């Protein structure tokens, strides 16, 4: 059963030092009293979005396992998940087309328009065989959270390749930036004109070029090192910069004006990109209204806070933060942190046996941050 637990201070024992690939020993990951358990689930979820009125939405990825249930859900005050926008959208029925039920949801986000946006990757899989040419394409879907009605359906077939895996999105005025984690690139969608452009394809800034580590172990699948290309992204509060990275790091930054300029050549656009910070293997990120970035380090179980000037400190280190994924800052300035244990799922185990420690938990930190949408 899903439960919402009262926020309370938790005391745990010290975690034995992790053996890491990069350094001989890592500091013990202590239980931090500022980290509160907000919700737990017997199924793996990977993203959270909290509306200004407190309504909480989560998404359950196809790779999570752990029983049947909705793909996108609203969590009620008793911790129970309810299919959002309704049961039909969360139950594949063999239908085809833009309005078919969810296929493979990878991300959710409440946009600046107040709609709940969903990234449905369609019939795709990171690092797998080519996507079936007649399979469901990736889509961006937007729902009115009050009525559940569909307000936008954007099929990304025109911006996809045979190896695309549309991963996450952020907004800037009429533009939506989407990361392609399967075939490295960013996709720029113009909401006003409908134009879709692939940019920075196979650029060093969008391509995973180094090993990924989680809890001190090389992340592998099917006997090969995992590669997750363009993944995390954030728009600066003033809208002038886009920060983005492959899941392995490092993080890059580029002017949104350059990314949105279709007249700019690929070479000139690449030159407009610069490295911002040498981030570690990352599960998720967030940005506050002062421009500070929050980036999870899934190897040493911590959250980094990186200033707009590129100075990093450890916000929290805790043994419970196993693969902290897509974070969220709500209207009260609380940081929500899903700790989803992706690296422990069967897909990423050498013997194909899950090592999940259920339930999976959502944590919060009352930081009084300035939110930004």
What is the largest distance, in Å, between two alpha-carbon atoms of the chain? 57
What percent of the chain clears pLDDT 90, i.e. is strictly above it? 85
3 belongs to a structural domain: no
- CB burial of residue 166 (10 Å; 0-12, 13-18, 19+): buried
- Give the pLDDT confidence score for residue 59 in this predicted structure: 97
Tens digit of each residue's pLDDT (9 = 90 or more) over 28-43: 455 678 999 999 999 9
DSSP for 261-273, written as a single string:
-TTS-HHHHHHT-
**pLDDT confidence bin for 128, thresholds 50/70/90:** confident
In whole angstroms, what is the distance from residue 270 CA to residue 276 CA?
14
Cα dihedral: 44, 302, 57, 122 (round 10): -60
332 belongs to a structural domain: yes
Q: In this model, does residue 337 exceed pLDDT 50?
A: yes
**pLDDT confidence bin for 67, thresholds 50/70/90:** low
- Give the pLDDT confidence score for residue 63 in this predicted structure: 79
8 belongs to a structural domain: no
The DSSP call for residue 90 is: G
Beta bridge partners of 234: 243
Q: In this model, does residue 222 exceed pLDDT 80?
A: yes
Which residues, at least 6 apart from 160, have a Cβ–Cβ distance to it below 8 Å?
131, 137, 138, 166, 180
The count of residues in the chain is 373
- Show the DSSP H helices in 86-207 as ranges: none
**Least confident stretch, 17-21, 172-176, 210-214, 307-311:** 17-21
In whole angstroms, what is the distance from residue 282 CA to residue 118 CA?
21
**Six token digits for residue 277:** 């910070």
- Give the pLDDT confidence score for residue 65 in this predicted structure: 63
**pLDDT confidence bin for 200, thresholds 50/70/90:** very high
Burial readout 313-340 (b: 16 or more C-beta within 10 A, e: otherwise):
eebbbbbbbbbbbbbbbbeeebbbbbbb
The DSSP call for residue 258 is: H
In whole angstroms, what is the distance from residue 334 CA to residue 370 CA?
9
171 belongs to a structural domain: yes
What is the pLDDT of the chain when averaged over all its residues?
Answer: 91
**Six token digits for residue 86:** 């309704």
25 belongs to a structural domain: no
- Give the pLDDT confidence score for residue 33 in this predicted structure: 81
- Give the pLDDT confidence score for residue 10 in this predicted structure: 32
Q: In this model, does residue 213 exceed pLDDT 50?
A: yes
**Six token digits for residue 259:** 């990314």
Name the domain count of the chain.
1
Question: Do 283 and 323 meet the contact criterion of CB atoms below 8 Å apart?
Answer: yes
- Give the pLDDT confidence score for residue 9 in this predicted structure: 34
Domain limits for position 195: 36-366
Beta bridge partners of 245: 232
Burial readout 261-274 (b: 16 or more C-beta within 10 A, e: otherwise):
eeebeeeebbebbe
- Give the pLDDT confidence score for residue 233 in this predicted structure: 98
Helix (H, G, I), strand (E, B) or coil at 159: helix
The average pLDDT across 350-362 equals 94
Beta bridge partners of 339: 324, 361
The average pLDDT across 101-114 equals 97
- Give the pLDDT confidence score for residue 66 in this predicted structure: 56
- Give the pLDDT confidence score for residue 12 in this predicted structure: 35
- Give the pLDDT confidence score for residue 191 in this predicted structure: 96
Tens digit of each residue's pLDDT (9 = 90 or more) over 87-97: 999 998 889 99
How many helices (H) and strands (E) the chain has is answered by: 2, 28
170 belongs to a structural domain: yes
Q: How far is CA 90 from the centre of its chain?
A: 20
210 belongs to a structural domain: yes
Question: Do 139 and 122 meet the contact criterion of CB atoms below 8 Å apart?
Answer: yes
372 belongs to a structural domain: no
**Least confident stretch, 9-13, 186-190, 231-235, 330-334:** 9-13
**pLDDT confidence bin for 17, thresholds 50/70/90:** very low
CATH code, domain with 145: 2.120.10.30
- Comparison of pLDDT for 107 and 1, the residue scoring more: 107
């Amino acid at each position: 059963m899903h439960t919402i637990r009262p926020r309370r201070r938790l005391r745990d024992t010290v975690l034995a030092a992790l053996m890491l690939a990069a350094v001989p020993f890592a500091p013990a990951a202590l239980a931090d009293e500022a980290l509160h358990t907000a919700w737990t689930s017997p199924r793996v979820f990977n993203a959270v979005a909290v509306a200004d009125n407190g309504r909480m939405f989560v998404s359950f990825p196809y790779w999570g396992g752990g029983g049947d249930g909705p793909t996108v859900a609203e969590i009620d005050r008793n911790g129970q998940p309810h299919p959002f926008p309704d049961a039909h959208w969360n139950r594949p029925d063999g239908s085809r087309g833009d309005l078919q039920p969810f296929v493979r949801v990878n991300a959710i986000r409440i946009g600046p328009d107040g709609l709940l946006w969903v990234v449905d990757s369609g019939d795709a899989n990171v690092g797998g065989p080519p996507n079936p040419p007649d399979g469901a394409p990736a889509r961006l879907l937007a729902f009115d959270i009050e009525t559940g009605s569909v307000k936008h359906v954007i099929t990304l077939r025109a911006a996809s390749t045979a190896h695309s895996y549309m991963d996450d999105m952020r907004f800037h005025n009429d533009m939506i930036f989407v990361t392609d984690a399967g075939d490295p690139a960013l996709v720029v969608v113009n909401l006003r004109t409908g134009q879709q452009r692939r940019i920075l394809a196979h650029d060093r800034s969008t391509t995973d070029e180094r090993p990924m580590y989680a809890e001190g172990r090389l992340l592998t699948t099917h006997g090969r090192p995992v590669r997750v290309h363009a993944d995390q992204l954030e728009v600066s509060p003033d809208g002038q910069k886009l920060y983005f990275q492959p899941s392995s790091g490092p993080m890059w930054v580029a002017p949104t004006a350059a990314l949105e300029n279709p007249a700019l050549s690929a070479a000139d656009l690449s030159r407009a990109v610069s490295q911002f910070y040498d981030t570690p293997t990352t599960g998720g990120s967030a940005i506050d209204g002062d421009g500070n970035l929050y980036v999870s380090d899934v190897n040493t179980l911590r959250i980094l806070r990186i200033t707009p000037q590129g100075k990093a400190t450890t916000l929290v280190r805790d043994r419970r933060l196993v693969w902290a994924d897509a974070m969220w800052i709500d209207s009260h300035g609380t940081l929500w942190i899903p700790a989803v244990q992706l690296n422990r799922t069967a897909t990423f185990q050498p013997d194909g046996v899950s090592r999940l420690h259920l339930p999976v938990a959502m944590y919060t930190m009352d930081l009084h941050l300035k939110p930004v949408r």
